Amino acid sequence: MWRGPQGGGATSSPVVLGSLLIFSSLDTHVYGVDRNTGSLVWKFKAGDIIAGSVIVKDNIAFFGSQDGFVYALNAETGKLSWKYQTGGMVNAISGQFYKGNFYIGSSNGFMHCFSEKGDLLWKYKAGNAIFMSPAFVNDRLYFGSYDKHFYCLNTKGELVWKFYVGEWVDNSPTVFSDGREIWSAFGEKKAYGGPASVCFGAYTRNFYVLDCETGGLQWMRRMDGIISWSNPAVKDGKIYFGDWSGQLYCLDAGSGAIDWKILTGGNIDTQPLIHEGYIYFGSYDGNLYAFSLEGKLSWKYQTGGVVISRPVIENGVIYFGSMDTYMYAIDLETRKVLWKFITGAGKPAPIESMLKMIDQIKESQKIFSGWKPELIRPAYKDDRNLTFVAAPSEHAYASQTPYKTDSPYQLQQKKKKQPWER
């Protein structure tokens, strides 16, 4: 009945596996690309958008999709090993492995625990969507939810404690001790048996540090913007993360005092990468930045779209994706682009073009869904026959899959004003 442009932004953090670079895209595919040449080796199509990142364990690539499935692929060939229907969208930043089991959340409020073979071992029901990556230490897992709480479970799926935050939490936590990172979404993962702290940010604009054992608040610091997908990184007693004010912060891990902060031209939804004295991160202004750990700009690279993808570095090359639909490989020494790989249709979908199609969409009675509803334009909130959601930039993304009406992304008549209804 109608057709519009579809974007293929690369928002995920890529994974290096031998000669392969593996990453997901909003065009519904996971790609295996030769990391030396940028040529396609394999690709796998899921049933809908893949907003989170792939995690690889023992040559199996695990990820979730907004079609509601958790997938496991052969990481060398891209062939499906197994998939599991969760009953809700799987929009998590990434799943995580801990002691042989795979953990991932979904929009229907469940944290799932799977064996590597795809057997569901248990699931725990929170009060709303879980769209972040859990952290682990001492046989406990930590995660936040859109029910405004932060949870601690044991690895049997039993509640140990929960902490009331007061607003949405989709910022993946980081566990640390004595200023050293123990576990983060894309960073360190160490065995540890002593006392530790867990840190995370929230839509309250506060950054929290809790005692891992008791859930007691150790300190809290008010920041200038909402803290969402810029998961904290901890290094040498300092905590690094960004927020929607466009600033990257360096805090003292013991006290929460701000050592320094730097302003970019857009929101920051990237977990920083710390590598050999520099910190790398992306911004909604389209740049990948490299700063010293003292907060001094070293260099930046401008892409054609929002940069949410956390970069990875291997053998002097930095790899990262952009909402301009490209995955980039840049030489760290020369700053030259070695290659860039285009995903999907290779063309972002401007919101302006989508606005012209609103009447056609209404007439078609189709479900039209996208990513990051907290930035939805108020003009859409009275449209009862569709779900139309803006992405966190000037791009919009569509889905052909209808979702259940209990999805937190579904636009319905609401008595209470929601956080995204400005």
Q: What is the mean pLDDT of residues 51-58?
A: 94
Spans of all domains in the chain: 356-422
Over residues 368-379, the mean pLDDT reads 38
pLDDT exceeds cutoff 50 at 422: no
DSSP for 84-153 reads EE-SS----S--EEETTEEEEE-TTSEEEEEETTS-EEEEEE-SS---S--EEETTEEEEE-TTSEEEEE
Residue 62 above 80 pLDDT? yes
Q: Indicate the SS3 state at residue 375.
A: helix
Is 412's pLDDT higher than 60? no
Q: Which residues contact 126 (CB under 8 A, 6 or more apart)?
A: 105, 109, 110, 111, 145, 147, 149, 151
Average pLDDT over every residue of 255-277: 96
Q: Report whether pLDDT(229) > 70.
A: yes
Average pLDDT over residues 385-411: 38
109-118, 228-237, 372-381: least confidently modelled range: 372-381
> 92-116 pLDDT, tens per residue?
889 999 999 999 999 999 999 999 9
Taking residues 138-161, report their average pLDDT. Answer: 97
Has residue 43 got a pLDDT over 80?
yes
Contacts of residue 155, defined as CB under 8 A and 6 or more positions apart, other chains included, come to 98, 99, 101, 113, 139, 140, 141
Would you give the end-to-end CA distance of the chain in angstroms?
32
Q: What is the pLDDT of residue 9?
A: 85
Question: 175: part of which helix (H) or strand (E)?
Answer: strand 174-177
Residue 195 reports pLDDT greater than 60: yes
What is the predicted pLDDT for the residue at 345?
52
* Confidence check: pLDDT of 78 > 60: yes
pLDDT value at residue 348: 44
Integer Rg of the chain from CA? 20
**Whole-number pLDDT of residue 405:** 37
State yes or no: pLDDT of 294 exceeds 80.
yes
Q: Which residue has the tokens 């935050």?
A: 165
Greater confidence (366 vs 184) lies with: 184
Task: Print burial letters for 248-270: b (CB count within 10 Å at least 16), e (below 16).
Answer: bbbbebeebeeeebbebebbbbb
Q: Where are the strands (E) in 270-410, listed by range?
A: 273-275, 278-282, 287-292, 297-302, 312-314, 317-321, 326-331, 337-342
DSSP 282: E
Mean pLDDT of 316-323: 96
pLDDT at residue 135 in the model: 98
Q: Is the pLDDT of residue 366 over 50?
A: no
pLDDT class for 269, splitting at 50, 70, 90? Answer: very high
Provide the 3-class DSSP secondary structure of residue 354: helix
- Taking the C-alpha atoms of residue 267 and residue 392, their distance in angstroms, rounded to an integer, is 9
pLDDT for the residue numbered 374: 35
Per-residue confidence (pLDDT) for residue 1, from 0 to 100: 34
pLDDT at position 2: 36
Q: Residues 80, 188, 107, 366: what is their CA dihedral angle, to the nearest 10 degrees?
A: -60
When the pLDDT of each residue in the chain is averaged and rounded to a whole number, the result is: 85
145, 167 Cβ separation under 8 angstroms? no
Identity at 300, one-letter amino acid code: K
Asked if the model's pLDDT at residue 18 lies above 90, the reply is yes
